[in-house]
Amino acid sequence: MQTPASECPVVLVHGWKSHPRVWKDLCSRFEEASITYWNFSHAGLDTPPAQIAGCLRDFIRDQRERSGYFGPVDIVCHSAGTCIVRYMLEIQDGTSRQERVRQLIALGPPNNGSSMAEIFNHPEYGPEIVEVLAGVFVPRDYDPALDPIVQEIRPNSRTIAELRAAGIRSDIRYRLILSENRTRTPDLFPHLNGKTWAFLPDGTWGLTYAGDGIIPHTDSYLPGAGVDILPSAPELLSASPARYSHIALPNNPEVIDRILIYIRTPSTVPGAICGDEWAKDTGIPPWHPDQLIPNE
């Protein structure tokens, strides 16, 4: 028998250089719906994702012991928090599968590694990008070489290689919630003129509107995972473009509504499935150069 949503806790895992308060609006909606949530914090932990994944595993076990609940949970994560969750589930628990997880709902995840993490380390582009995003997405005087999380979410890092080799778990529903600059407005992420840098498999760089200003769809693509690309209607982006930027996704009302739909009805069919048909269904081929625009 399926566990009712009200009896299935939700584990929240924030992203890089973030904090548990990023889920404030989502938590309010959970409280209104009487949905239990466990809000994990790795703020201030400057350690690789593998070590944080161990802390997350301990946190979930502690919450289970405290609550007496040992059934399945849902996990909602943002950005690099997805790499932490996936490392716990697919690497640390990949064989034993002791962690009972019903679905993983990821907002703007860098499943193939982060193009932004890679460009931070680029000898030509890196310093300029860090300067543009200082105080917005990165701390001032930020040095990516000293950041173990950023180094381990680069596309060719050991962590991403391990996740790529492990693949997704067949006992978990994977949901990706992404945003896209469908109206090509600079206001989605003014710091990059509404565009998103993309690092492609052949080692080339490009800019695309198929992203949220930080994570392009190419970073998120995960074969077998369900995907929803928001906004569902262009007028929603026109009304509040900044709400669809990467940083704002956890508090975006449309994103929160979609999360609640999945929590309440896990069998909900996503907009598409990442795979051979994804390009046809979404119009956004995962590695297609036509989606790139000239670097101005």
Percent of the chain that is helix, strand, coil (3-state, to 5): 40, 15, 40
Nearest Cα neighbor of 73 from 202, 211, 263, 295 is: 263
**What pLDDT does 278 receive?**
52
**What pLDDT does 72 receive?**
96
**What pLDDT does 296 receive?**
42
The percentage of residues in the chain with a pLDDT greater than 70, rounded to a whole number, is 91
Q: Which two tokens stand for residue 225?
A: 């995972």
**What pLDDT does 273 receive?**
85
Lowest mean pLDDT among 14-18, 47-51, 167-171, 198-202: 198-202
Instruction: Answer yes or no: is pLDDT of 2 > 70.
Output: no
Residues 6+ apart with CB under 8 A from 145: 121, 151
Lowest mean pLDDT among 35-39, 167-171, 285-289: 285-289
Q: Which residues pair with 229 in a beta bridge?
A: 178
Q: Which two tokens stand for residue 143?
A: 């040095």
Query: Could you identify the residue written with the tokens 């609006």?
Result: 25
Instruction: Answer yes or no: is pLDDT of 30 > 50.
Output: yes
How many other β-carbons are positioned within 10 Å of the β-carbon of residue 128?
11
Mean pLDDT, rounded, for 113-118: 96
Q: What is the CATH number of the domain that holds 231?
A: 3.40.50.1820
4: buried, middle or exposed (CB in 10 Å: 19+, 13-18, 0-12)?
exposed
**What pLDDT does 203 receive?**
85
141: buried, middle or exposed (CB in 10 Å: 19+, 13-18, 0-12)?
exposed
Mean pLDDT, rounded, for 99-123: 96
Q: Which residues pair with 178 in a beta bridge?
A: 229
Report pLDDT digits (tens) over 244-267. 999 999 999 999 999 999 999 999
Q: Number of folded domains in the chain? A: 1
114: buried, middle or exposed (CB in 10 Å: 19+, 13-18, 0-12)?
buried
Average confidence score pLDDT of the chain: 90
Query: Could you identify the residue written with the tokens 């028998």?
Result: 1
Q: What is the pTM of this model?
A: 0.92
Report pLDDT digits (tens) over 129-152. 999 999 989 988 899 999 999 999
Report pLDDT digits (tens) over 41-70. 999 898 999 999 999 999 999 999 999 999
- Which residues constitute the domain of residue 91? 5-293
Report pLDDT digits (tens) over 175-230. 999 999 999 999 999 999 999 999 987 888 889 999 999 999 999 999 899 999 99
Q: Which residues pair with 40 in a beta bridge?
A: 13
Contact indicator for 194, 184 with CB cutoff of 8 Å: yes
Amino acid at 254: E
Please indicate whether residue 94 or residue 107 has the higher confidence score (pLDDT): 107
CB burial readout 209-246, b (16+ within 10 A) else e: bbbbbbbbbbbbbbeebbbbbbbeeeebbeeebebbbb
